[in-house]
Amino acid sequence: MATFWGDGDYGVQQPLTDEMVREAEHVLGVRLPLALLDLLRVQNGGIVAADRDAFPTCRPTSWSEDHVPFDGLMGIGHRDGTTSLLDTPYLLEEWGLPVPLVLLTGDGHYWIGLDYRTCGRDGEPSVTWFETDLDAELVLADDFSSFVRGLTASSTYGDGSADAPVPTP
């Protein structure tokens, strides 16, 4: 899991504690996946390694013909100037996204989040891509562990055109 993280401290929160996890689950109203918490215990948010900064898609999005970006993962905390999983309730309202979700990364025009709508607040959420400008969504993986295993390097993709080679996930 240590190879999941890239260099630098951009977006990194204070080291994760059990108390911070309890606070997050209370604020978010869901049980967070153990695979996510395991990653955040290694490093509490930040830049993702270059060989894991994209996820292949089965259909085009506004981002690309064959993948979506995943260059960072929000942590849990209150570090000034750093967006956190704890900001999810505000961001869901601001961008008109469904509930219950926990946003992992995004810029407002798109988000990748844990989607609890099917599994319930205590279940294992799928990971879903949301395009707020187009009011569209795409399930990327059935669970967070599968999502992490499916991450690839954005550099392996072509320019996004239909003729560009598509890597196998």
- Looking at residue 159, what is its pLDDT? 54
Average pLDDT, the chain: 91
Residue with tokens 């992490």, as numbered in its chain: 148
CA distance 150 to 91: 26
- The β-bridge relationship of strands 110-115 and 101-106 is antiparallel
CA angle in degrees (0–180, nearest 5) for 109-33-134? 20
Return the DSSP state at 101: E
CA distances from 6 to 62, 69, 89 (A): 25, 14, 27
- Report the SS3 class of residue 60: coil
- DSSP reduced 3-state for 73: strand
Q: Give residues with Cβ within 8 angstroms of 101, minimum separation 6.
A: 88, 92, 111, 113, 114, 115, 116, 117, 128, 130
* Spatial contact of 78 and 84, defined as CB atoms under 8 Å apart: yes
Amino acid at site 81? G
Q: Of 37, 38, 103, which Cα lies nearest the Cα of 72?
A: 103
pLDDT digits (tens, 9 = 90+) for 76-125: 999 988 999 999 999 999 999 999 999 999 999 999 999 999 999 999 99
Confirm if 50 and 153 have CB atoms less than 8 A apart. Answer: yes
Preceding amide of 100 cis, omega within 30: yes
Q: What is the pLDDT of residues 44-84, one digit of tens each?
A: 999 999 999 999 999 999 889 999 999 999 999 999 889 99
Give me the phi and psi of 152, to 5 degrees please: -135, 180
